[in-house]
Amino acid sequence: MALDPQAQAVLAAFAGMPPLDFAQLTVPAYRAMLAAGSGLAPGDSVAAEEDLTIPTASGPIAARLYRPALESADEHGDSNTLLPLTVFFHGGGFISCGLDTHANICRCLAQRARTVVLSVDYRLAPEARFPAAALDACNAVRWAASNSGDLRVRPGALAVAGDSAGGNLAAVVAQQLRYSAVNIAHQVLFYPVVDCATEHPSYESMGDGYLLTADMMRWFKSEYFAPDADRADPLASPLAVADLAGTASATIISAEYDPLRDEVEHYAARLAQAGVLTTHLRWPGQMHGFASLLGALDAADQALTIAARALRHALHVQNT
C-alpha cells in the first residue's frame, strides 16, 4: 500500500535537512544530532522506574527497571504476586541511543503486557565493537534470570524484546541461550537486523527516502565491526544460523518501507520452518523505527499494543 499519511508527514519534517555524508560523518556528531531532536510521546505511565547496574566480567552495565502500575490487586487477585520479566534492548545501529531514547517503548510494554521491563544499556561501537554488545546482551539475560529475587519478578517467567539493532541482540540471546538453564518464553522483535553479512533485495527497493537508508545501514555496520570481523558469526547474524530449532517462540514485526524488510521476513519464515511458533506482521505503509514514534504515528501505539498482548500471552499473564 502507499506510505501512511502520518509517516509521510514525518518524512516531510526531515525533508529540509541536508543529507548525511557518511564519508565524513563521525559517531559523536551522529549521537549529538539524535540527542538534539526528540519530542516523542513519553509512553504509558508506570508505577516506578529504577536505575540499576548489572555486574559482568566485562564491567558493569547500566540498566533501568520499569514496573507497571496495577490496580489494587493484580490479575490473580493478589497484589503481592510477582510479575514476569521482559529484558529489552534498544535500537540505534549498535552505535547510538540508550535508556532514555527508548523509555517510551519500555513503558508501554511494561504497562500493557503487565510485565516488569529491564532495559539494558549495552556497550556501543566503535568504542566497544562486535561482539561486545552481543556478549553484554547474553550476560544481562543470564544475570536477570539468576537474580529474580533481587528484581522482585516471577522466577522462570522471562522474555526478550528489542527494536532494530536491539532486535538483533534479542534474537541472538534467544538463539545462544536456547539450550541453557535460562528459559526464554518469548521474543518480540521489531524490524530487527538479522543479517549483517548479506544485503537483501529491499536494500535496493526501500534503501532511500524512508528515514533508514541502505547507506546508513552500511555505515552502522562499518562502525560496529572491525575490518576483519566475521559478519556471518552467529553473534552478529541470527539469520545465518543453520539450525533454528528450539528457539523461543517469536512475534516479529516488519515495516513495508524498510531496507531491512526482506531479511526480517526471511528470518520469520525460517523460524516457522524450524517449528518455532512464530507470528509475523508486516506493518503496511510504515517505515523502519515506526514503533518509537509515539505521538506522531498511530501505528506505533497499535504495534506496541499487539506486541504487549503477545508478551502477556506467552508469559501466562491473564487478561484483566
Could you give the residue numbers annotated as active site?
164
b/e map 122-136, b = 16+ CB within 10 Å: bbbbeebbbbbbbbb
Helices (H), the chain: 5-14, 27-36, 103-113, 132-146, 148-151, 165-176, 202-205, 214-224, 261-273, 298-314
Between the two ends of the chain, the Cα-to-Cα distance in Å is 35
The CA distance from 265 to 120, in Å, is 26
Pick the closest to residue 116 from 40, 19, 48, 196 (CA basis): 48
If you search the block for the grid coordinates 553473534, which residue do you land on? 235
Residues pairing with 254 in the sheet: 282
The CA distance from 93 to 283, in Å, is 21
Q: How far is CA 256 from CA 46, 112, 125, in A?
A: 31, 25, 28
The CA distance from 36 to 206, in Å, is 26
Is residue 64 classed as helix, strand or coil in its secondary structure?
Answer: strand
The CA distance from 203 to 214, in Å, is 5
The enclosing H or E element of 50 equals: strand 48-54
Pick the closest to residue 198 from 229, 237, 169 (CA basis): 237
